[in-house]
Structure 1
Amino acid sequence: MHDSIGIPACFSSGEKQSDDAATVGRSGQSVFMSVYRTKLAGQCRLITVTWCKNLLLHGLCVSVQGSKSDEHHRCKVEMKPWHFWRKQGSKHLVVDGRAVNVVWDIKTAKFNGETEPQSDYYVAIVCEEEVVLLLGDLKKDAFRKTGCRPSLIEPILVSRREHVFGKKKFSTRARLNEKGNFHGILIEFNDSDHGSDPKLEIRVDGKLAVQVKHLQWKFRGNESISIGRNGVEVYWDVHDWLFESGPRHGLFIFKPISSPPIRGQQISVSAPSSPDHEALMNPPPENDDRSRFCLFLYAWKVE
């Protein structure tokens, strides 16, 4: 269950990768990372888009996997309040000898209090006159600016990772697939009995989905739930909350599964609006990358 946290490395200079978890905990910076798989420079690669926010800056980092799995080409944009021009521009990368351009426009982006912009922006990754990855809702502006055509291969969302902070309650809004509905996720850690019998509750869209009592013995586990008509496997690991000191986080993973739990065996949580009909009628096969998506939620406990 333990998962390395290498997210903020592109925003720091000279910091070791192994220290990233402690760096996030000390700084209290919000981090939101999305990983996509697509074809770029003649090869299937991972592209990681990371948004990072703290009191001093709002940052964007795009990382493109090289020919080796552990090799990455990065483009970093720091949007400090006094650098307004950085909210629109482009940067150039060379990946395996081929030119890659990262083009962005977030000068009118609406964040609505979130780390990742919610509307009125675009981030485009361009290679060989194709827009291989396009994020945001200003798609026409992106194609006009780049002068390039859409890629024939649709990118696949592999995972999302988010860091949230709190004392006992941790909340976020997230999609469990690229085109699905947003769901409100609330995680609550309750040790009101002075730590003698702490418990954990996970609510989705306001309804109780997972309840774990006797957490000191069940600090790691998983449970299947249904969100609307979709099945989701929920994993948790809160060992460090209970047994470690200093900056520490609990890890929660939400993984869609091919079919929802049998009615009556698990708690059902309704979606805020009707699910996508096409997705229900044509679920992805088990060997399809879309069925392997995971949402990783790092809940940092602040004393």
Structure 2
Amino acid sequence: MKDFPSCFGENAVQVSDFSSSSSNKSAHNLVTSVYQCRFGRRSCLITVGWSKNLMGQGFSVGIDDNRDQCLCKIDVKPWLFSKRKGLKTVEAYSSKIDIYWDLSSAKFGSGPEPYEDFFVAIVSNQKMILLLGDMPKEAYKKTVATHSSSSSAHLFSKREHIYGKKIFNTKVRFLNNGQLHDLVVECDTVGVDEPCLVIRVDNKNVMQVKRLQWKFRGNHTILVDGIAVEVFWDVHNWLFSSSHGNAVFMFKSNLMSDQDSPSLSWSWSSQRALDTRTQNHGLSLVLYAWKSE
């Protein structure tokens, strides 16, 4: 699998591609999620990208086949007062695909992705292929679609850009139908003799790394929702780079065997291969954390 499906072209990025250049500032307001779905007997990848700029929030939907060939893509440009609900129709697998959305009452946090009072629904042959949001009744009523267990979608990869001075936060579900958690990364590197990295889930400290100058890369396992979540971090740029580069954090909730687990010398750009091996086992959340000036 590509780092992001081919439908997203210039928005498809690798961790190693990011620097502190001004051209990367727009990436701060980008969240990309990849879902494994089924159209009948066929498997596909659906990538949903949320973006934000001065005009408001927008999103894109791309559909790839299991050979990473782009089947179709739609863009809903950022809006201020319009396009908060709608329908677009495309074709894939010689079938009509309807993409519905209703964000008229959506609630947003600091990022571009809504977390409440919205839905995005992808329907083919009157079957619900992918349903996002917390308004399933409204979505099924609007689409007149039926649910099939064979077409259930699985989120296996999410990448998000977050920023702050010393506190970085987002929301995440480590299980597809699990609880929505508040995830916080805290690290003060300015004017501090011994920087310390702290990670909290729902205001509870689950991980702390002291002597960060010596442990700027590493991994640790935490427990969330009764399952093991492995945390990898790389804060080298925060500590030793003269530019304002980003730190990278990855949270993996899966059932990998020991031989599949990445080593400490693992390159972050090798996420591509890791996603391919483990897409059926759990969520891979990658956070690019940028220090605000």
Q: TM-score surpassing 0.5?
A: yes
Task: Note the C-alpha offset of 1:198.
Answer: 3.0
Q: Does the 8 A contact of 2:169 with 2:182 survive in 1?
A: yes
Equivalent in the alignment of 2:39: 40
The answer to whether residue 99 in structure 2 is matched with residue 109 in structure 1 is no
Change (3 A) 1:251 1:95: same
The count of aligned residue pairs is 266
2:87 to 86, 90, 94: 90
In 2, the alpha carbon distance for the partners of 1:168 and 1:174 equals 20
1:244 to 241, 244, 252: 241
Percentage of pairs with the same residue: 36
1:178 to 173, 176, 179: 176
TM-score norm. by structure 1 comes to 0.75
Q: How do residues 156-235 of structure 1 correspond to structure 2 at under 5 angstroms?
A: 156-191=154-189, 193=191, 197-227=194-224, 229-235=226-232
Say which SS state the counterpart of residue 241 (structure 1) adopts: helix
1:297 to 259, 284, 287: 287
> Could you tell me which amino acid in structure 2 is paired with residue 111 of structure 1?
F
Greater RCO, CA 8 A, separation 6+: 2
In 2, the alpha carbon distance for the partners of 1:142 and 1:24 equals 37
Kindly provide the CA deviation profile for residues 16-36 of structure 1, in whole angstroms up to 9, marking residues without a partner as x: 856974577423642222221
Change (3 A) 1:181 1:18: closer
Change (3 A) 1:247 1:17: farther
In 1, the alpha carbon distance for the partners of 2:234 and 2:145 equals 44
CA RMSD in angstroms, aligned pairs only = 3.1
Say which SS state the counterpart of residue 118 (structure 1) adopts: strand
Equivalent in the alignment of 1:262: none
TM-score norm. by structure 2 comes to 0.77
Q: Does the 8 A contact of 2:245 with 2:290 survive in 1?
A: yes
Unaligned runs of 5+ in 1: 260-286
Task: Note the C-alpha offset of 1:56.
Answer: 2.1
In 2, the alpha carbon distance for the partners of 1:16 and 1:156 equals 22
Q: Does the 8 A contact of 2:244 with 2:291 survive in 1?
A: yes
Unaligned runs of 5+ in 2: 257-276
Task: Note the C-alpha offset of 1:47.
Answer: 0.8
Equivalent in the alignment of 2:53: 54
1:138 to 124, 135, 139: 135
Equivalent in the alignment of 1:30: 29
Kindly provide the CA deviation profile for residues 203-224 of structure 1, in whole angstroms up to 9, marking residues without a partner as x: 2222322222332332211011
Say which SS state the counterpart of residue 114 (structure 2) adopts: coil
